[in-house]
Amino acid sequence: MSLQSFLSNIWTEIKSLFSGMPSELQTAIHIGVVVTQNIKNFVDSSAADVLTAIIPGDIDDEIKNWLRAKLPAILTELKLADSCSGLTDPAAITQCAIKVLQGLDADIQAPFLHSLSVLVAQVAADGKLTWSDGVYLLQWYYQHEYQAFA
């Protein structure tokens, strides 16, 4: 069996797992990818509220409020906002973390963004998504669903 066919079999199994998952977990994974993609695309925007700019407008208001409250803490935990440790405003913490991300080499930035996706999806799933499942499912979703329609 070649490496390519082996990896293809793994992705097929993950797709099957994803398809059989409850819709709220599928939504959480989508949110994790979209929020992280929005952070990745956010470059010194003139948007007054960075959190509004990066959190998708079409998600449930309760999840939006959770993300607005939790995202700065997640960014701080990832040590992306250490250089701005004196900040208390969630938008300022988020902007600081984005500037730190912008300064990272692409090879270092990618793992941070992947971890961020999983953490955001876990928040959106209200703890119903494990880290290990999230790692594989978000990677599969990003490569096979999100990028396919982007």
What is the token pair recorded at 5?
């066919």
- Alpha helix positions (H), the chain: 3-19, 23-41, 50-54, 61-77, 90-103, 106-124, 131-141, 147-149
pLDDT under 50: residue ranges of the chain: 43-44, 48
Determine contact, residues 39/80, Cβ cutoff 8 Å: no
Whole-structure pTM value: 0.67
Q: Tokens at residue 143, please? A: 């490569």
Rounded to an integer, what distance in angstroms lies between the CA atom of residue 50 and that of residue 110?
A: 21
For position 44, what pLDDT does the model report?
A: 40
CA 116/CA 101 separation, integer angstroms: 11
What is the model's pLDDT at position 112?
A: 84
How confident is the model at residue 40, as a pLDDT? 72
